[in-house]
């Protein structure tokens, strides 16, 4: 999957599309999903142009990778979802139904989430 600089997340990062920001730092932007699948559903995206987790892992600097995952933990803590539990999910590629070609992580929480995969 090639990176599309006009994907919705790139446009959000450029301020062309509004979002409900939860957290932002030098490495990430986190915002509420417009089609939530749980009471808490936040998307965390890196500020760099990476298509998916494989691309991010291969090309991002160590500082970007560390900053991203530390931000995910900080966001979960700020949302108050660490103690009751949350799910962090990255879809990579077509078989996983990745919809936007910009690496992103979903944070789900706020209710018992059930099994990892539909049966």
Please indicate whether residue 32 is annotated as part of the active site. Answer: no
Identify the active-site residue in 32, 102, 104, 106.
Answer: 104
CA 48 – CA 46 distance, rounded (Å): 5
- What phi, psi does 74 have (nearest 5°)? -65, -40
Across the strands, what pairs with 109?
40
What's the half-sphere exposure (Cβ side, CA atoms, 13 Å) at 30? 26
Strands of the chain (E only): list them.
21-24, 28-32, 40-46, 87-89, 105-109
SS3 72: helix
Provide the annotated active-site residues. Answer: 104
């Amino acid at each position: 999957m090639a990176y599309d600089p006009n994907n919705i997340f790139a446009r959000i990062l450029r301020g062309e599309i509004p979002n409900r920001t939860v957290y932002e730092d030098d490495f990430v932007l986190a915002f509420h999903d417009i089609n939530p699948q749980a009471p808490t559903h936040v998307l965390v995206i890196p500020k760099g142009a990476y298509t998916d987790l494989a691309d991010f892992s291969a090309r991002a600097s160590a500082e970007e990778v560390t900053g991203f995952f530390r931000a995910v933990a900080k966001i979960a803590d700020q949302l108050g979802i660490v103690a009751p539990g949350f799910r962090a999910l990255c879809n990579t590629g077509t078989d996983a139904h990745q919809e936007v070609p910009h690496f992103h992580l979903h944070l789900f929480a706020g209710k018992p989430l059930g099994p990892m995969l539909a049966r």
